[in-house]
Amino acid sequence: MSATAESVQERRAALKGLGTSRKRVEDARFTQGKGNYVDDIKLPDMLFGDFVRSQHAHARVKSIDTSAAMELPGVIAVLTAKDLEPLNLHWMPTLAGDKQMVLADGKVLFQGQEIAFVIAEDRYIAADAVDLVKVEFEELPVLVDPFKAELPDAPILREDIADEKEGAHGARRHPNHIFTWEQGDKAATESVLSEADVVAEEMVYYHRTHPCPMETCGSVASMDKVNGKLTLWGTFQAPHVVRTVASLLSGIAEHNIRVVSPDIGGGFGNKVGVYPGYVCSIVASIVTGKPVKWVEDRMENLSATAFARDYWMQGKIAATKDGKITGLWCHTTADHGAFDACADPTKYPAGFMSICTGSYDIPTAYLAVDGIYTNKAPGGVAYRCSFRVTEAAYFIERMIEVLAIKLNMDAAELRAKNFIRKDQFPYQSALGWEYDSGDYHTAWEKALESVGYSKLREEQAQRVEDFKAGKTRKLMGIGLCHFTEIVGAGPVKNCDILGMGMFDSCEIRIHPTGSALARLGTISQGQGHATTFAQILATEIGISADDITIEEGDTDTAPYGLGTYGSRSTPVAGAATAMAGRKIRAKAQMIAAYLLEVHDNDIEWEVDRFVVKGAPEKFKTMKEIAYASYNQAIPGVEPGLEAVSYYDPPNMTYPFGAYVCVMDVDVDTGVSDIRQFYALDDCGTRINPMIIEGQVHGGLTEALAIALGQEIAYDELGNIKTGTLMDFFIPTSWETPNYETDFTETPSPHHPIGAKGVGESPNVGGVPAFSNAINDAFRAFGLTHTHMPHDHWRIWKTANELGLHADS
Amino acid sequence: MVLEEEVQIPLDRNTVFHALNDPEVLKQSIPGCEELKQISDTELEATVVIKFGPVKASFNSNVEIDPSQGPELFKLAGKGDAGVAGFASGGADVHLEENDAGTLLKYVVNIDISGKLAQVGGRLIEGTSKRIAKKFFANFEEILLQRQT
């Protein structure tokens, strides 16, 4: 190896660019308790708001008496719908084209719904005053079961739109019906099903759960009446969207609104939506002329801000006798709660549920989704997944298992037999997507080999024998999953939210001394953007990642972007970063050529510098170029070194992965013990392997929570039964197993650096892997499918129903 | 939620039945009862404070009693409003059977709880309700026996 080659390597390493396990620059402040979250914001004369919420799931509000609350010293005002009506803010638009009450307008539709907003000098007074507001209710029949929504005796929930036959997503057939969304070829699929050798059917329920970020939602609004400027700090995954919506709602010009997302303590989709608390804090600040803070508590977070999932997926899958899948049919009943507040791109009221053909080459498919109103909290957000992709992945990965049982075939073999082959990419799916790239067989073989799959099956068979012989009370489950995600929304031609195209952006400023500032339209909630985006840029422009500051979240300074959710930051804003970096490099090339007194074409880029071709000793580093760009008159070139890129992706990206979960299940206690979890992820080009691993660990743990116990459960009166962390399962280190991570690398052909996004893959793939393991443990005893969440009680019940207990 | 229990009281059925209709006895027997007003022969208004784990709730309750099938059966139905803490509604059927030891009361109580109480105290409601019912009959018996002496 020559000295020059070594030095190239050293210089490359010094950049800490793509592929480096660079330590997270954010962690210095987070690990020292120096983060700056919404609740850390303290302004002079700041007031506090708190909500009076509904205790009923469905009731008419006959009167609201605020007089006792107003008499409490320190209470400034109590807002009700009557106060907001003159401003036309008693209702607000949702991201899904519906509208939602900001404060109860005549009735309440879910437990925890906002009724009145108390503004007081401190949060304790506000909480006391909430208790003093007297609300008179007239209880109405409650609808919690979406399958009863259209029965003759069903109560009509949304009287405001009861007579409207058309909603934001087409025809409505009943006042409690929101939309029907159809994809694929219904007639062709039905014909395939009727002629198939084998058809497996199952109802797959993905229960209602909640992202439950460690930091709850909140905002601080400060209206400066002198200069007419509103500043709004809040837990926003999409600050620019919030600014635009706030401007449209309030009538305040967009340039007079500054929205800031400070540090965010986890989002997972919960912080995409616009909530009544944000609107009320703004109104309260306008009314009082003082800053107003609203921060919800844990119960409010779980019961009123956006939930996730709640999809009842009725499936039919058709195959030949030897296991070649010929068709897939799915009808989903989607429980959206009282208002349709899903955060999906406008044209996709069920998100990307149509990715439900998964990793398989299924020639014919049909999907229909019916959105239904019930007396539950609104939401339906993408909880650590791209829009409804977790539901889709869970559905197909359960249906594959159900089909394997019907065919009496090994589920791993059935998958391999039906994977889209490497040579079929770009692959056009039956439900309308163009998968950009993939190599499923390679990943699958690597996964099966790594876990010693055939040995595991032998051990499992022996265990069944031992169980039957009375030698053990523990069964063994092998949970397989091969998922394909669709992330990076998305191309403006088919992806928008409230009409706002889902591009993203990056603006770069190189300083004269050769360090840089890059601002993006996204916002980190723990993903480590300040670390990884600097790495993308380091490789593109040859400045060390340590010398690049990443800024996000302040709409006064950051370029417009649609925010961070649906694994879109790397696919979209990451692409914008690379493209802006390339613009910097193009200008730098002209400057370098001038300085080196050669033609532009006579120099080439090498790690951190432009080098004269054939004369490696003649070069200009990016640092030198940056200085010259500001301080040297270069004919025909403007001073300075800045660039901006707004990136509209040509396609989504399609990360995939192969997961295997091995579990022991105690038949008598229902306790599941995860022995091994292997996760192979292919997210294309890997920017920071350490952050990927961290993302996978976190996502798997959330998947474990969902699959094994976490749920938002309602009783028949519409009471939330899991409204505190005593009942809502959050795994601790005690419940969390060891994870083995692995990877293959299939770069996205259309992304500038080939990256695909990874933050959500482990949740998408993890849930089916855990659930399949539980189901698989009982396969030998006749179980086809049992619903999540697989908590100990439900597992025990399954064992009991299968007659595995001595007394059952 | 449905509670089914029975309790033996060493007094004759008529005495027990009349006591169940006596607001003063009820007031002293209901745990946490701060106020009880008789509105009419069959309507009562009560303020009852109950602690469900961390939540202390003061219920303003309207109760309707139905003694028409006495002394074999005493029925009541009611609603309680604890403001932001939640609401309760329900009823009780108390069957009174004469036996050698006095009267056997078999009661079936139906309670629906909504609101914050149901959320926070969900797992505590059944235990608390059972405890309250037990305490009620213990107090009830004590008062009646005191009156006898």
Per-residue model confidence as pLDDT tens digits over A139-190: 999 999 999 999 999 999 999 999 999 999 999 999 999 999 999 999 999 9
Instruction: Spell out where A282-349 has E strands.
Output: 292-295, 307-319, 325-337
Under an 8 A CB cutoff, do B119 and A53 touch?
no
From chain B, pick out residues whose CB is under 8 angstroms from the CB of A134.
83
CA–CA distance, A570 with A272 (Å, rounded to integer)? 17
Task: Answer yes or no: do B118 and A719 touch at CB < 8 A.
Answer: yes
For residue A296, pLDDT over 50 is answered with yes
Residue B71: asked if its preceding bond is cis (omega within 30°), the reply is yes
Mutate to test the interface with A, among B1, B58, B84 (most CBs of A within 10 A): B84
Nearest to A533 by CA among A28, A12, A14, A25: A25
Most distant CA pair in chain A: distance in Å? 92
State which residue of chain B sits closest to A127, comparing Cα positions: B84
Q: Identify from A52, A53, A55, A118 which residue to disrupt to test chain B contact, counting B C-beta atoms within 10 A and taking the largest count.
A: A55
A167 within some domain: no
A563 in Cβ contact with A521 (< 8 Å):
yes
What phi-psi label fits residue A616: left (phi over 0), alpha (psi between -120 and 50 degrees) or beta?
alpha
B121 and chain A in contact, CB less than 8 A: no
CA-based nearest distance B68→chain A, Å: 28
pLDDT digits over A521-565, tens only?
Answer: 999 999 999 999 999 999 999 999 999 999 999 999 999 999 988
**ipTM given for this complex:** 0.77
Q: Which of A114, A485, A507, A760 is catalytic?
A: A760
Query: Same domain, yes or no, for A764 and A742?
Result: yes
C-alpha distance from residue A584 to each of A400, A607, A622 (Å) = 49, 14, 10
Per-residue DSSP letters for A509-575?
A: EE-TTS-EEEEES---SSS-HHHHHHHHHHHHH---GGGEEEEESBTTTSPP---S-TT-IIIIIIH
Boundary (domain end) residue, out of A619, A647, A675: A647
Of A237, A527, A535, A589, which one is the catalytic site residue?
A237
pTM (predicted TM-score): 0.94
The predicted pLDDT at position A6 comes to: 66
**A670 and A552 together in one domain:** no
DSSP state letters, A391-453: HHHHHHHHHHHHHHHHHT--HHHHHHHHBPPGGG-SEE-TTS-EE----HHHHHHHHHHHHTH
Residues of the domain holding B131: 2-148
Number of structural domains, chain B?
1
Based on the residue annotation, tell me whether A385 is a catalytic residue of this protein: yes
Instruction: Give the integer Cα–Cα distance in Å for A395 and A333.
Output: 13
Q: Quick one: pLDDT at residue A807?
A: 64
The answer to whether the CB atoms of A299 and B115 lie below 8 A apart is no
- The pLDDT of residue A3 is above 60: no
For position A745, what pLDDT does the model report? 97
- pLDDT > 70: percent of chain A: 99
Residue at A474 is within a domain: yes
Q: What is the pLDDT of residues A655-683, one digit of tens each?
A: 999 999 999 999 999 999 999 999 999 99
| Domain match, A523 and A454 both | no
Is-contact A457 A410, C-beta < 8 A? Answer: yes
Are A739 and A686 found together in one domain?
yes
Number of domains in chain A: 3
Give the span between the Cα atoms of B21 and A94, in whole angstroms: 54
pLDDT band of B86, cuts 50, 70, 90: confident
Which of A52, A55, A131 is nearest residue B87 as measured by Cβ atoms? A55
First to last CA, chain B: 38
The answer as to whether A199 is a domain residue is: no
B contacts of A720 (beta carbons < 8 Å): 118-119
Residue A204 lies inside a defined structural domain of this protein: no
Expressed as residue numbers, the domain containing A284 is 43-141+216-264+271-304
Q: State the amino acid at position A195 in one-letter form.
A: E
pLDDT above 90 coverage of chain A, percent: 94
Report whether pLDDT(A466) > 80: yes
Q: Which two tokens stand for residue A138?
A: 């007239």
Residue A1's pLDDT is 43
Domain match, A85 and A220 both: yes
A131 and A242 co-located in one domain:
yes
Final residue in a domain of this structure, among A596, A616, A647? A647
Whether B115 and A111 lie within 8 Å, measured CB to CB: yes
Assess whether A402 and A484 both reside in one domain: yes
A553 torsion bin: left (phi>0), alpha (psi -120 to 50), beta (else): left
- Same domain? A623 vs A520: yes
d(CA A390, CA A766): 9
The two structure tokens encoding residue A610: 């432009």
Q: What is the DSSP code (8-state) at residue A610? A: E
Instruction: At A379, list the tokens.
Output: 């939401």
Residues A638 and A667 in one domain: no
CB–CB contacts below 8 A, A to B: 47
Q: Which CATH number fits the domain that encloses residue B52?
A: 3.30.530.20
Chain B residues in contact with A53 by the CB 8 A cut-off are 84
Q: Are A309 and A209 in contact (CB under 8 A)?
A: yes
Q: Judge whether residue A67 has pLDDT over 60.
A: yes
pLDDT at A803: 96
Q: Are A664 and A737 in contact (CB under 8 A)?
A: no
Each residue of A467-509: pLDDT tens digit? Answer: 999 999 999 999 999 999 999 988 999 898 888 899 999 999 9
Is it the case that residue A700 has pLDDT exceeding 70? yes
pLDDT value for A661: 98
